[in-house]
Amino acid sequence: MALEHFQIPRYILFGPEALEQAPQALTKIGLRGKALVISGGGATAKIADRFCSILEDSRVEASRFTVESRIADVAEVLEASRVAEREKTRFVLAVGGGRIIDVGKLVAANLGQPYVSVPTSASHDGIASPSVSFLLKRSAMKAGIDVSRLTPPLGIIADTKVISSAPPITFRSGCGDILAKVTAIRDWKLAHKLKGERYSEYAAAISRLSFDLIKQHAHELKPGEEKSSRLLVKTLIGSGVAIGIAGSSRPASGSEHMFSHALDLLSMREGYSPAPHGIQVALGTIMMAYLHELDWMEVRRLAKAIGLPVTAREAGIPSDLVVEALTMAHRIRNRYTILGETGLTREAAEELARSTMVID
């Protein structure tokens, strides 16, 4: 049999006050020398200030880079890379939400350095995976960054007390990203059966477990509660590990993510800010569950129980763009899904969105 290899995080530390143990965690991971701490502004900057003070108290030297843009920009990836080279840093510490961690991943990939994910919110499974957002990846490739060098974080330091204090929308978005696994796995299995694509039962099982945990506890999950944040972080890390084992985002991302990526492109064309990733993905999951002949009503009920929008109106997405995104989703990437190779006609897309009550 052929050899298999995969990359997953080496060391994971999570729980309340995990930030206080960051220096010891870095030692256990084997990271030495000067760090580049990448963070956002506002509340995230204050958390990064505290984090850097903890590092300084343990004599861990660090330089800072602040991501100013609200949407991750490849220009900031390149600027952070220049700062790292000038300051002669040895590894990257990405302190923030998904946008900041994506920038950190690309800086690390660009420099060929390891990085540690230090999430301040739990909005999607990027905290543990090698993946970055669809639009940022496109921009990075155009800028000449070798995205094949993207890896999972060497370590994860997730302070659930910090994560619990993040805006509730980030928590719900993370839950939405986990709901997506139920259709992503079905898409992957379909591609395996019809196209001979490599399929990993192990990776699929880990991803499915993340979904099952959210399903089991959906009515108990509450933003702002450390217990709920801890469970969500576990599922997001599990999903990220599944991606590392599979060697692709297949166990976590299928037709529902392609729908979300299509919405991202349309938001650029129309000049409005897209809804959070997990919010868009959750709407896509309801519709793709319908196409897969899964219990889409159950998926919808789970989404509602978590507090996720279940209609385009609730999510602030124009109905006509939902329909257009459905018609173009199959072209987003070279990945076989329930949408097939020719996708949905406008009439079929509108019928799907109406049948699942995403639009009225």
Which whole number is the average pLDDT over 133-155? 92
CA 356/CA 113 separation, integer angstroms: 45
Q: For 146, which DSSP code?
A: -
Q: For 332, which DSSP code?
A: S
Which whole number is the average pLDDT over 346-357? 99
pTM of the predicted model as reported, rounded to 2 decimal places: 0.94
- Distances, alpha carbon 42 to alpha carbons 49, 261, 273, 321, in Å: 11, 27, 19, 32
pLDDT of residue 241: 95
Which whole number is the average pLDDT over 298-321? 98
pLDDT of residue 72: 76
Which whole number is the average pLDDT over 340-344? 97
Q: Which residues of 194-226 are buried (b: 16+ CB within 10 A; e: fewer)?
A: eeeeebbeebbebbbbbbebbeebbeebebeeb
- What is the SS3 assignment for 252? coil
How many CB atoms sit inside 10 A of residue 142's CB? 9
In 3D space, the residue among 340, 335, 280, 290 whose CA is nearest the CA of residue 311 turns out to be 280
Matching residue, tokens 């991971």: 29
pLDDT of residue 273: 87
pLDDT of residue 71: 77
Which whole number is the average pLDDT over 84-99? 97
| pLDDT of 135 above 90 | no
Strands (DSSP E) along the chain, which ranges? 11-15, 35-39, 62-66, 91-96, 115-119, 155-159
pLDDT of residue 27: 96
In 3D space, the residue among 67, 50, 7, 42 whose CA is nearest the CA of residue 241 turns out to be 7
- What is the SS3 assignment for 133? coil
How many CB atoms sit inside 10 A of residue 74's CB? 21
Which whole number is the average pLDDT over 158-185? 98
| pLDDT of 292 above 80 | yes
pLDDT of residue 306: 97
Would you put residue 340 in left (φ > 0), alpha (ψ -120 to 50) or beta?
A: left
| pLDDT of 2 above 80 | no
Which region among 131-135, 212-216, 238-242, 298-302 has the lowest average model confidence (pLDDT)?
131-135
272 vs 193: which has the higher pLDDT: 193
Matching residue, tokens 């899964």: 294
Domains and CATH numbers, the chain: 11-166 (3.40.50.1970), 169-356 (1.20.1090.10)
pLDDT of residue 105: 97
124 vs 336: which has the higher pLDDT: 336
Contact in structure between 122 and 229 (CB atoms under 8 Å) = yes
Assign 69 a pLDDT band (cuts: 50, 70, 90).
confident
pLDDT digits (tens, 9 = 90+) for 192-251: 999 999 999 999 999 999 999 999 999 999 999 999 999 999 999 999 999 999 999 999
CA 208/CA 134 separation, integer angstroms: 23
Q: Is 324 exposed, middle or buried (0-12, 13-18, 19+ CB in 10 A)?
A: buried
pLDDT of residue 184: 99
CA 83/CA 187 separation, integer angstroms: 41
In 3D space, the residue among 157, 104, 97, 93 whose CA is nearest the CA of residue 130 turns out to be 104
